């Protein structure tokens, strides 16, 4: 309502920019680590070869195969695991430093209290005031004047109030908080100004029925600014003084001044009320036309998508980084370049002559010509080690196997078809379980956030066990979904292994048959066929699992796009021709013309305001009265175009506010909200987020509100 979106958007972007820089640095370090991890074996083998060649030590490919295997295990333990350990240690140290101790606000407090005492604590703001029993429940509800509110709520006392009670008004939240304390039936009650959020009539009811009646035999500490109730207190504590009502009236100048000021205000209010002969009723405060915000659905139900991931999700994901044609072109070119290079180089290695001197001379010439900088050594490493790590793709091995032994295409097609059918079944389960896991994870964060925010209340009511049980319930639901997701993955792995076993058996028999049939099949071809057939099944499993994993992880993008598609507010700015005059509003004449308003865009949602028609002339001071939850706050919100205007219009100085931009309306109207909100930062940043005013003007505003 204050049009601070641009300021906070800039703050978020600055923080996000710093976060992106830190993430980029971390990713750069990971890239160096990954580069070193992938080049470690090739560089080490190259250095070994250069050393052996300079010392005239003869070697063959078997030596390189054994060395590659040993270096691969060293890479896993020395590079990969060490990097993981360092990262985990850094995260632990960062989390450890977040634990801080907070100072105490009150010190050296001493007093005595007896059962039946009502002790009131008063002072300047910020001084430091801070089994189901149906009969008791009904008594508490009546004492806190919540019975009429429950009658209007769609589910009565079982209505969900939402995060931080957003479905309730300020007065309703205060009375629910008081009712929660009364229902506990404790010996000592500490009430931190529960009467400040309600009107005079409700305040009197709460004091008479709740504090005096329900707590008449309990020790009660009441921090309040309602000094008219102090005469009923057994003891009154002022920040630096204590005594009875009569004692403080004689001895305390602060107490006497507070009473004098309050008494004068009450006399002025009585005089003003006597001048009014009648109060015109309005349908704004009629009970039969009143709907509270609580009549909305208690919470927004998260919708779970069904079916496969739509192609628009993948397209949107690619468009978020670069243009779609460029992204597709890069993917295709890099794929074919890598496959062509790997296929040709590995086939060339397999076709080398068995004569060791011939191979030795080739490697010697490659070193002289500096060709060792090419992919030969790296592809040799791929041949001996990387295939079992699933670093290459399915087409690479399949093409090479079918080239060497075309008969292998028959079991390859059969195995591939069965795996694809199994993949379709597996992907549906994995995708839906991942969506379910994401849905069950949200309540964990919501409960954890609300628990941290209300930790003081939870501890004061000794509700740790209840909150912990609820947290365990949410956590169990999430673990169930994650466990099912893991189980499905293991189920698919076992099936893939069985298919791979059958495929390898068929390939082995085909190789034997072809060899017996005197087909032109060398020993190198047989070795390469069996080797790549073994890797082919693993690569096929890896490819299928990666495709399913990509589809599963794209559910996160799907949820982001779901949030992006939510209905947004109207335009903040309109064209220059439609902008209101610079001095608008110059008078402040407001007309409500048959206004009906709802907090939801659904046409069938209940109306918060219904058929409101009124005129407020310039200079008038209008009071909006009504019981708690009658729609007073919603009435003010319509001036800021918050909520959905079902019908009617609001005119300010002959201009319909629906025809101008949101910023033009909200910038030119000021409001003091019912629930004050202070943002993280300095007092100055909360007073002047746009840095438009000088220190003198800010100090003048602070002095006017006695800060």
Give the span between the Cα atoms of 44 and 238, in whole angstroms: 80
Q: What are the b/e assignments for 556-576, b being 16+ CB within 10 Å? A: eebbebeeeeeeeeeeeebee
Averaged over 109-120, what is the pLDDT?
64
Please state the pTM of the whole predicted model.
0.48
481 Cβ neighbours under 8 A, 6+ residues apart:
433, 436, 437, 440
463 within 8 A of 469, measured Cβ to Cβ: no
Query: Please, are residues 433 and 488 in contact by the beta-carbon 8 Å criterion?
Result: yes
CB 661 within 8 A of CB 572: yes
- Report whether pLDDT(100) > 80: no
- In 3D space, the residue among 507, 578, 580 whose CA is nearest the CA of residue 540 turns out to be 507
Task: Name which of 449, 425, 429 is nearest 437 in CA terms.
Answer: 429
Retrieve residue 7's tokens.
Answer: 């300021």
Mean pLDDT, to the nearest integer, of 598-622?
80
609 and 597 Cβ atoms separated by less than 8 Å: yes
Cα end-to-end span (Å), the chain: 24
The confidence score (pLDDT) of residue 514 equals: 67
Q: Residue 629: its pLDDT value, please? A: 66
Query: Which residue carries 């402040």 as its tokens?
Result: 588
357: left (phi over 0), alpha (psi -120 to 50) or beta: alpha
Please give the pLDDT value at position 295. Answer: 41
pLDDT band of residue 363 (cuts 50, 70, 90) is very low
Give the model confidence (pLDDT) of 255-295 as tens digits.
Answer: 566 665 555 555 554 444 444 434 443 333 333 333 333 34
Tell me what pLDDT residue 286 has: 38
pLDDT class of 538 with cuts at 50, 70, 90: low
pLDDT at 254: 56
CB 630 within 8 A of CB 290: yes
540 and 497 Cβ atoms separated by less than 8 Å: no
- Nearest-angstrom CA–CA distance, 572 and 364: 72
- Residues ≥6 apart with Cβ < 8 Å to 539: 387, 390, 392, 393, 394, 396, 397
Residue 410 token pair: 């028959």
Structure tokens at 567: 């209905």
Q: What is the widest separation between alpha-carbon atoms in the chain?
A: 122
pLDDT of residue 32: 78
Structural Rg of the chain based on CA atoms: 38
The answer to whether 655 touches 580, Cβ cutoff 8 Å, is yes
Q: Which residues pair with 590 in a beta bridge?
A: 616, 652
Q: How many CB atoms lie within 10 A of CB 338?
A: 14
């Amino acid at each position: 309502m204050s049009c601070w979106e641009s300021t906070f958007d800039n703050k978020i972007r600055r923080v996000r920019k710093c976060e992106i820089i830190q993430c980029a640095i971390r990713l750069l370090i990971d890239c160096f680590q990954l580069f070193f991890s992938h080049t470690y074996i090739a560089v080490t083998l190259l250095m070994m070869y250069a050393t052996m060649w300079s010392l005239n030590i003869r070697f063959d490919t078997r030596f390189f195969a054994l060395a590659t295997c040993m270096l691969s295990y060293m890479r896993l333990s020395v590079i990969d695991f060490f990097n993981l350990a360092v990262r985990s240690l850094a995260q632990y140290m960062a989390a450890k430093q977040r634990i801080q101790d907070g100072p105490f606000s009150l010190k050296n407090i001493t007093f005595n209290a007896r059962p039946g005492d009502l002790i009131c604590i008063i002072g300047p703001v910020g001084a430091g005031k801070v089994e189901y029993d149906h009969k008791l429940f009904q008594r508490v509800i009546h004492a806190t004047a919540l019975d009429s509110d429950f009658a209007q709520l769609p589910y009565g006392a079982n209505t969900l109030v939402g995060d931080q009670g957003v479905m309730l008004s300020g007065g309703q939240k205060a009375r629910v908080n008081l009712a929660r304390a009364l229902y506990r039936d404790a010996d000592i009650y500490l009430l931190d100004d529960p009467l400040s959020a309600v009107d005079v009539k409700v305040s009197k009811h709460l004091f008479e029925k709740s504090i005096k009646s329900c707590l008449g035999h309990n020790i009660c500490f009441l921090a309040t600014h309602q000094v008219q109730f102090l005469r009923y207190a057994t003891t009154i504590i002022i920040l630096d003084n204590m005594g009875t009502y009569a004692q403080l009236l004689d001895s305390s100048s602060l107490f006497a001044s507070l009473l004098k000021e309050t008494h004068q205000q009450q006399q002025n209010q009585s005089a003003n009320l006597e001048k009014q002969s009648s109060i015109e009723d309005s349908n704004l405060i009629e009970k039969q036309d009143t709907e509270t915000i609580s009549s909305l659905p208690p919470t927004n139900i998260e919708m779970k998508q069904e079916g496969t991931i739509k192609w628009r999700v993948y397209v949107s994901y690619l468009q978020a980084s670069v243009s779609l044609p460029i992204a597709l072109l890069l993917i295709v070119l890099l794929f074919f370049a890598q496959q062509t290079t790997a296929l040709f180089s590995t086939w060339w290695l397999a076709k080398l002559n068995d004569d060791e001197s011939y191979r030795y001379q080739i490697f010697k010439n490659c070193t002289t010509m500096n060709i060792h900088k090419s992919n030969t050594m790296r592809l040799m490493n791929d041949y001996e080690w990387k295939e079992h790590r699933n670093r290459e793709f399915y087409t690479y091995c399949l093409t090479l196997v079918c080239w060497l032994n075309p008969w292998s295409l028959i079991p390859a097609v059969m195995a591939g078809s069965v795996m694809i059918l199994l993949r379709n079944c597996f992907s549906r389960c994995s995708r839906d379980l991942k969506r379910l896991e994401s849905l069950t994870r949200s309540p964990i964060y919501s409960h954890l956030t609300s628990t941290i925010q209300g930790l003081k209340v939870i501890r004061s009511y000794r509700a740790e066990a209840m909150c912990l049980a609820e947290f365990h319930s949410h956590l169990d639901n999430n673990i169930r979904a994650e466990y099912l997701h893991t189980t499905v993955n293991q189920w698919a792995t076992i099936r893939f292994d069985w298919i791979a076993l059958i495929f390898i058996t068929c390939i082995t028999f085909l190789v034997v048959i072809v060899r017996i049939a005197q087909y032109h099949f060398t020993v190198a071809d047989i070795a390469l066929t069996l080797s790549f057939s073994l890797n082919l099944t693993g690569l096929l499993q890896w490819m299928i699992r990666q495709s399913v994993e990509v589809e599963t992880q794209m559910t996160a993008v799907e949820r982001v796009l779901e949030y992006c598609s939510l209905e947004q507010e109207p335009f903040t700015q309109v064209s220059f021709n439609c902008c209101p005059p610079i001095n608008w509003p110059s008078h402040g004449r407001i007309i409500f013309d048959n206004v009906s308003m709802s907090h939801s865009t659904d046409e069938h949602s209940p109306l918060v305001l219904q058929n409101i028609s009124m005129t407020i002339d310039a200079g008038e001071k209008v009071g909006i009265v009504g019981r708690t939850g009658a729609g007073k706050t919603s009435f003010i919100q319509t001036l800021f175009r918050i909520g959905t205007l079902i019908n009617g219009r609001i005119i300010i100085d002959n201009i319909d506010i629906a025809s101008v931009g949101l910023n033009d309306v909200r910038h030119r109207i000021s409001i003091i909200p019912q629930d004050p909100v202070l943002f993280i930062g300095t007092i100055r940043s909360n007073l002047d987020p746009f840095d438009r005013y000088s220190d003198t003007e800010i100090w003048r505003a602070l002095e006017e509100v006695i800060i």
